[in-house]
Structure 1
């Protein structure tokens, strides 16, 4: 007879649990969340009943490791070649996917100014599975609004029981710094499209940040791509010194969107953040380079990688060392399928990801053979996500219940500083490919207890 034991809660998460304010109850908490998240893309039937609260030292470790690894990835990418063309050649990437480069100083200086890695809590703490870099990284607006919602839920206490970075505030400070460096008045054009946001009816997703910026002295405006040309002022100069790239070239080409207005805005003096090079930093092959080790890496760099990155290699017909043994990479992946994940070097929202433990062996074999042939993927050692306590509700007391979840953590880093942390999870406690879009994950935020 097989017995099933309840997964143990990982000590990294601590044992903090915020009580719901009596004045609100389950229905009131749900109402606050739905009001803040209205029309920005949010599951409404079942929601988190409390934020994920962790010890301050755990949050500090998560953000600190994220910032240090991001800096290492940036250095690795820039060291791979002196120009964007050299770097794309080193990555084997299609140059047509990166048509919006600007001057070298801007590209190199700001390419890692905003990012959100994906991490799970492994046996010994945070393990970073990938780094999403740039202004188009998903979940930023959700993170800001959810953090604001929990502030409202606990607004009647004298002192909030948690620290909650403002994502919009952190991004605003990046914008302010860059405007000062450019000797320009603070102004930002937010460029995106509702076509990227399934089920969203209005521009509230973008307007929330526009209003935030305006309240803090910025000129700010949202543009759909077809509207961008009206941002040009007298003499053809673009009216905003900065732009926020709420898009990827791949997605916009899929929508049939013309990128020429973006090129015109760049040529007319608008600095879009993060610049095109950000998408090269987020290429998962860079993660493989750093995991395998580069000649210039210091002992401290290598220790950081050993501690926080799972074993990751660029897939090719070559030999690697895994757990002290030299072997062919293809042979290793086929022999040890359940120990590995296969990921396309370029992809998002779980696209192009195969989890060895849950993939049919025949499907896995074909994918490995294709990856060896095309050299467009990485292999990464599988990390089982640690569990923690949570609480979910449908807005009724009878529909409020505790849950044990395996969260995927997304700590945002803006100019090296903490900017909030997205949490994605399945309420039934399952792990795997966790995404808001396509996989139906619930979302929350991680906060540090005071």
Structure 2
């Protein structure tokens, strides 16, 4: 065991809370979750997850360090966004707004959310999302604040819980700084259909779901504008228009590759490429999310400093490029045979689409997944034995409660390089092992326990 692995993270669930706290959460859940973006049900957790302040800081530090290492791995192969695009084998169709001459650098790390799980308390980084579109900020703030308010006045340890950050405000601070926005400027947040959470494709519903952001942006003097990406206009100077008036910046919460080439989307692409409107973030940042870069960390490991070698071996599961030639090798034959040890993942995918867990399928289906993945730009990642936590759930229709040990995934949010809160996705009864809201997982907040306070029950 390395020095890193000896420092384990502990996450607590229902066992932390007194029965009365769980009763309060169960009664409040229907109203609370009806107002939370991405909290569709049918199972609602009646409490947050809990970590200590020390563990929160350690997760943030680990997250930032692996993010910097990913940028370094990219810089060992490319100096510009175009060169990185080529190294990853991407076509221009995936990144229509990419400035191929944009230099790679720390300015691309303004919006980050690693996805990590715990294995016997040791964090394992499954992927690192680097893009303005990283999700979780709004529901994290909504749920975290609601739970903290719920436990005020409690005589139990729950009264000593606090939010792990203020994600939406930190995000807007980063946007203002990166785009050079000033009071009175209009920031466009385009509604979209490709890759959207079902039910949130329409601009009105999208605006309602994101409404939590409006007063925070307004407190900084920024006016938010919610318009469908399909309805955007452009003037003769290539300025982007929303509702007929120019906008001063764009907060992009979608992936370009998922969008149809409508006139409105084409106008957005044209204005961004002409340099007439700034976007948070540029598509160069999204390139850094590619899981092939996790493989590059392993590919480079023998020529890295000892501390970085130990870090990678401790926290980054072995990740390999899935190719036809590799499948025909001895290592490929081993992966075919030992399917319970591996997971197939699209290298640039999101939403849990295309993920195949070897241990959940039979031998024929696994071979098919490997052969299909070899032709579709996928990686093979070592399977992690994910820790579980006991969660108390309330069913949104029957209102019955159910306690269950479920897997969970942590997503420390980093805006402008600063810790901005920790979101979580948890499995629910009868859900998939793929911990993504598109695959049935429930989004959840993580609260921090101030360590001078009462000791946890769990």
Please classify the TM superposition score into its range, dividing by the shorter chain length: 0.7 to 0.9
Question: Separation in 1 of the partners of 2:66 and 2:23?
Answer: 41
Classify 1:404/1:28 alpha carbon distance in 2 versus 1 (closer, same or farther; 3 Å).
same
Query: 1:323 is matched with which residue?
Result: none
Cα deviation for residue 243 of structure 1 reads: 1.6
Query: 1:292 is matched with which residue?
Result: 299
Cα deviation for residue 291 of structure 1 reads: 2.6
RMSD: 3.3
Alignment of structure 1 residues 40-439 onto 2, 5 Å: 40-102=37-99, 104-105=101-102, 108-156=105-153, 161-180=161-180, 187-193=186-192, 196-200=196-200, 202=205, 203-229=207-233, 236=239, 239-253=246-260, 259-266=265-272, 267-293=274-300, 297-316=304-323, 328-372=330-374, 374=375, 376-394=377-395, 399-428=400-429, 432-437=433-438, 439=439
Classify 1:13/1:234 alpha carbon distance in 2 versus 1 (closer, same or farther; 3 Å).
same
Question: Separation in 1 of the partners of 2:367 and 2:21?
Answer: 55
Query: 2:454 is matched with which residue?
Result: none
Question: Separation in 2 of the partners of 1:138 and 1:383?
Answer: 23
Question: Separation in 2 of the partners of 1:207 and 1:384?
Answer: 38
Question: Separation in 1 of the partners of 2:308 and 2:144?
Answer: 33
> 1:275-321: CA deviations, max 9, x gaps?
1112211111111111332576332222221111111111235679x
Deviates more, 1:308-317 or 1:356-365: 308-317
Classify 1:235/1:45 alpha carbon distance in 2 versus 1 (closer, same or farther; 3 Å).
closer
Kept after mapping to 2: 8 A contact 1:344/1:352: yes
Query: 1:446 is matched with which residue?
Result: 446
Extract unaligned runs of 5+ from structure 1.
1-9, 321-326
> 1:249-272: CA deviations, max 9, x gaps?
12213x857532212332253211
Kept after mapping to 1: 8 A contact 2:188/2:249: yes
Question: Separation in 1 of the partners of 2:322 and 2:160?
Answer: 48
Kept after mapping to 2: 8 A contact 1:48/1:393: yes
Question: Separation in 2 of the partners of 1:361 and 1:162?
Answer: 47
Give the match's secondary structure for 1:168: helix
Kept after mapping to 2: 8 A contact 1:162/1:449: yes
Classify 1:417/1:152 alpha carbon distance in 2 versus 1 (closer, same or farther; 3 Å).
same
Give the match's secondary structure for 2:84: helix
Cα deviation for residue 421 of structure 1 reads: 2.2
Query: 1:3 is matched with which residue?
Result: none
Question: Separation in 2 of the partners of 1:282 and 1:400?
Answer: 38
Deviates more, 1:383-392 or 1:79-88: 79-88
TM score, norm. by length of structure 1? 0.84
Question: Separation in 2 of the partners of 1:235 and 1:369?
Answer: 45
Classify 1:343/1:257 alpha carbon distance in 2 versus 1 (closer, same or farther; 3 Å).
farther
Extract unaligned runs of 5+ from structure 2.
1-7, 451-458
